[in-house]
Amino acid sequence: MFSLWQLGALALAYVLVLFVIAWWGDRAARKGRKTFHNAWVYSLGLGVYCTSWTFYGAVGEAAQSGWNYLPIYLGPIITVLLGGSLIYKMVSVAQQQNITSIADFLAARYGKSRRLAVLVTLVAIVGVLPYIALQLKAVTLSFDYVLKDSAPGQLDTALVVAALMAIFTLLFGTRHIDTTEHQSGLMLAVSFESFIKLVAFVSLGLYCVYAIFDGPADMWQQLSERTDVMQGFEPTLFSQSFVTALLLSMVAILCLPRQFHAGVVENNDIRDLRTTRWLFPLYLALFALFVLPIVIAGVITQPYLIGHADTYMLSLPMAQGSHAMLVLSFIGGIAAATGMVIVSTMALAIMLTNEVLLPMWLQSRLNEKDPLPDLGTQLRFLRRASILVLLGLAFAFHTLIDRFDGLASIGLLSFAAVAQFAPALIGALYWRNGHKKGAFVGLAIGFVVWFYCLLMPVILPLEWMAVLSEQGLLGLGLLRPHALFGIEGLEPLTHGVFWSVSINLAAFVYYSRRANQDALDETQAARFVDMPTDWWREGMGHPSITTIELLEVCKRGLGHPRAEPLFFDYMRRRGISEELELPAPLHLVRYVERLLAGTMGASTARIVMSSLLRKQNGRHDDVVRMMDEASELIQFNHQLLRTTIETIAQGICVVDREMQIVAWNQAYVKLFDYPDGLIGLGRPIADVYRYNAERGYYDGTNLEENVTRRVQLLREGYAHQFERELPNGIVVEVRGTPMVGGGFVSTYMDITERKNDEKALRQINENLEQMVSERTRKLSELNAKLGVCAAETF
């Protein structure tokens, strides 16, 4: 159908298009254009997850094993939909710490351990190399299958592809020395490839439905007549292979170096994750859906190829004589393979350079006391050398796996390798006591078990493997690769994953609990574990607020003498590190917001905290200035108010229109014998009423009804006056006076000590109303100004 030169020219033209797109993206980024820095490009960049395995291999897996193809798609969908807080936290920490790779992430969390970074790098390289080799194999199979009726020539397709990918990665993956400076051109090209392979896959699926069959009804009718096909799709949702593949896929979307690079390192805006949470699952769902018509068409029309069902993507359009669909499917397969090779090679090269080669080179120069040359030039040279070495190793490994026909088995092998990062990675974000010793030992042991149980059976000669499976290592039956410690009955993949991850996790927990954390360990744990996880749900942007910034806001709102004791007392009670430059944990942010709400109202406090979290430089300064102006008046009025009401013997309690306490005197506290801490600024009056109800101060047995009735009386603003006898025998006259701006002044007078001070009480009420009204007016002005600032930052 095509000659070698035609097909080669087509592939070369596609690669040239990638070069143009990448060049265009880099040029736009240098000019400061944000055209391609958006959520859609970012989300499509994550489509690098869909490799030749999901493009070709999923079809082959579905044809031979039915629903066992689904976990490859379901796993990431579940993680992205349900693990939003985890992903958000990972990206937020990485941005704050200037993380460059998954090795850098784990090393930074666990005491900045270089030894751990080196181990992560080596595990990633060994685990991902088979996966890169898989892509080379898939491209080779594509060329060979399309050219099977033509003279194949003497050209090694895999070698040519590896060379082209090396050139592309060298040109666009090493432009920036600082890996936190986003590779705009390269990621734009990767996003384009994700779009192309989706279009190709969906187009072929629709072609099968409407060209090979006469629509969905005809396809279903022919399928129902083929019981042999239907039997392959019996429910297998709880089989070993299904569950194992599902768990590995859920973890792989976080732990694969290429996914970490595309999703974490290359994130431009944390708010893009809101779009990604629905767009990326939809992207995967389309792949999962259109696998079915392709498989049905292949099994019904080409049952003789079921043993090589990976080729259905090419054999179906070839059999129908559709040149256009064949070209589209061929380009889609090339896109699926090349995107993975480029991003994976670049991610591994960054890890290998930063964590292994560059430190070794620097140490050797320092030991020889040689002057250090331009580090930028040396770093770029080492990174380019790493790319060439890695692709060379992948090509060599390609020859080792040439005897394997199924693409899925090799893909899951790499998933199982990177799954060894999961205990340390999740523990890095949620377990404060995780330690570098536990992370290192756990990863090392897990990797050894993975290598022995899963990789060795792939690379060893068949006769050697037969002896090892029968007799075990060194003749020990307990050390058989597929029956470790005498556990039999598990599928090889399930067996290897179970033992490697279980031993990894156990060692991580055990050695972490036994290790002693130094100051650096505790500091890094606080930086990672205390990162807020839910600000993104409220659209507030990136939470880069530090503890000292939060303390300054607290001082401005509450006043210096009162703010510090409350702030540091809360930190001590919650066990928060007192290193003020660390990111403030979410619960501390919430606590300060509640304190501010007691002074300036909930809405104003919310706007202030939102502005602080947005960090909009100039606007943030305006907010601080306005907050200072408002807080000065508030503090002055509050102090004057307290001084005034403390001079009289009657108990006084003032609530605002939010039904929260804003002023009181000690006479009120002593009269009702309230415990320390109950009466405080911002305390809802309903809490006080509830406390009194529990002490039997009100009639009736329905406590909540009593509380609700009294709160509603204040909220509706009805003046009232009555007498009540307390359980201690004191008779109290209660007088409530509403204020114009909202809120209530309540006076409690012991009638046994009543004096002729009606005039004084009226004057006090007038003063209280004037002061609270002035406070309300000033806060309303502040709300209006802050509202404008907030609107301009959206």
pLDDT digits (tens, 9 = 90+) for 295-316: 888 888 888 777 777 888 888 8
Q: Who has greater pLDDT, 330 or 578? A: 330
What is the C-alpha R_g of the chain?
Answer: 34
Chain CA centroid to CA 292, Å:
31
Of 344, 346, 350, 340, give the one whose Cα is nearest residue 104.
350
Length of the chain: 794
Confidence band for 480, pLDDT divided at 50, 70 and 90: confident
Q: How far apart are CA 564 and CA 567, in angstroms?
A: 5
Half-sphere exposure of 400 (CA within 13 A, CB side): 18
Q: Mean pLDDT across the stretch 756-779?
A: 57
Using an 8 Å Cβ cutoff, are 493 and 419 in contact? no
List the alpha helices (DSSP H) in 232-322: 240-255, 257-260, 272-301, 312-320
Q: Per-residue pLDDT tens for 736-753? A: 888 766 678 888 887 765
Q: Which amino acid is at 133?
A: A
Q: What angle do CA 466, 469, 470 make, to 5 degrees?
A: 85
DSSP state of 583: B
In the structure encoding, which two tokens stand for residue 394, read together? 């992948």
Predicted pLDDT of residue 774 = 60
- Tokens standing for 572? 């001590």
The pLDDT of residue 35: 58
The structure's pTM equals 0.69
| pLDDT at 194 exceeding the cut of 70 | yes
Specify the residue for token string 């204040």.
714
Interatomic CA distance for residues 591 and 537, integer angstroms: 19
User: Torsion-angle region of residue 99: left (phi > 0), alpha (psi -120 to 50) or beta?
Assistant: beta
Q: Among 300-304, 552-556, 624-628, which is the least confidently predicted range?
A: 624-628
Q: Is 750 helix (H, G, I), strand (E, B) or coil?
A: strand
The residue among 421, 178, 161, 205 whose CA lies nearest residue 294 is: 205
Neighbours of 521 (CB within 10 A): 22
Pairing status of strand 483-484 against strand 720-725: unpaired
Specify whether the CB–CB gap between 654 and 661 falls below 8 A. Answer: yes
Q: What pLDDT does 437 receive?
A: 92
367-387 exposure pattern, b = at least 16 Cβ within 10 A, e = fewer: eeeeeeeeeeebbbebbbebb
Other CB atoms within a 10 A radius of the CB of residue 69 amount to: 26
CA 305, 309, 314, 319 torsion-angle sign: positive
Over range 161-176, report the average pLDDT. 69
Which pLDDT score, from 0 to 100, does residue 794 have?
27
The amino acid at 743:
G
pLDDT band at 756 (very low <50, low <70, confident <90, very high): very low
Report residue 419's pLDDT band, with 50, 70 and 90 as the boundaries: very high
Q: Select the more confidently predicted residue: 72 or 625.
A: 72
3 state DSSP class of 609: helix
Please, where are the H alpha helices in 680-757? 685-694, 703-715
**DSSP letters of 621-672?**
HHHHHHHHHHHHHHHHHHHHHHHHHHTSSSEEEEE-TTSBEEEE-HHHHHHH
Query: Helix, strand or coil for residue 226?
Result: coil
Q: What are phi and psi of 651, to 5 degrees?
A: -75, 135
What integer is the mean pLDDT of 47-66?
A: 83
Q: Which amino acid would we find at residue 642? A: R
Query: How does residue 605 score in pLDDT terms, banded at 50, 70 and 90?
Result: low
Is pLDDT larger for residue 774 or for residue 239?
239
Question: 281 pLDDT exceeds 90?
Answer: yes
Would the pLDDT of 535 be above 50?
no
Average the pLDDT over 367-379 and give the result.
64
- Sheet with 720-725, strands from edge to edge, namely 661-664, 651-655, 744-750, 731-738, 720-725
Residue 167 three-state SS:
helix
The proportion of the chain whose per-residue pLDDT surpasses 70, expressed as a percent, equals 75
> Do 264 and 99 touch, CB atoms closer than 8 A?
yes
Question: Mean pLDDT across the chain, nearest whole number?
Answer: 77
d(CA 667, CA 675): 13
- For 454-471, the pLDDT digits (tens) are 888 877 767 777 777 777
What is the three-class DSSP state of 254? helix
What is the average per-residue pLDDT within 583-595?
75
3-state secondary structure 319-334: HHCCHHHHHHHHHHHH
Amino acid at 233: F
Residue 623 CA to residue 790 CA, distance in Å, equals: 10
**CA–CA gap between residue 256 and residue 60 (Å, rounded):** 23
Of the chain, the end-to-end C-alpha distance in Å amounts to 56
- The pair of structure tokens assigned to 253 is 């979307």
CA distances from 11 to 319, 332, 383, 701 (A): 22, 11, 27, 83
pLDDT tens per residue across span 2-17: 666 777 777 778 878 8
pLDDT value of position 788: 40
Give the pLDDT band (50/70/90) at residue 373.
low
Q: Kindly give, in sequence order, each residue whose CB lies less than 8 Å from that of residue 13, ignoring residues fewer than 6 positions away.
A: none
pLDDT confidence of 793, banded at 50, 70, 90? very low
Residue 660: beta bridge partners?
684
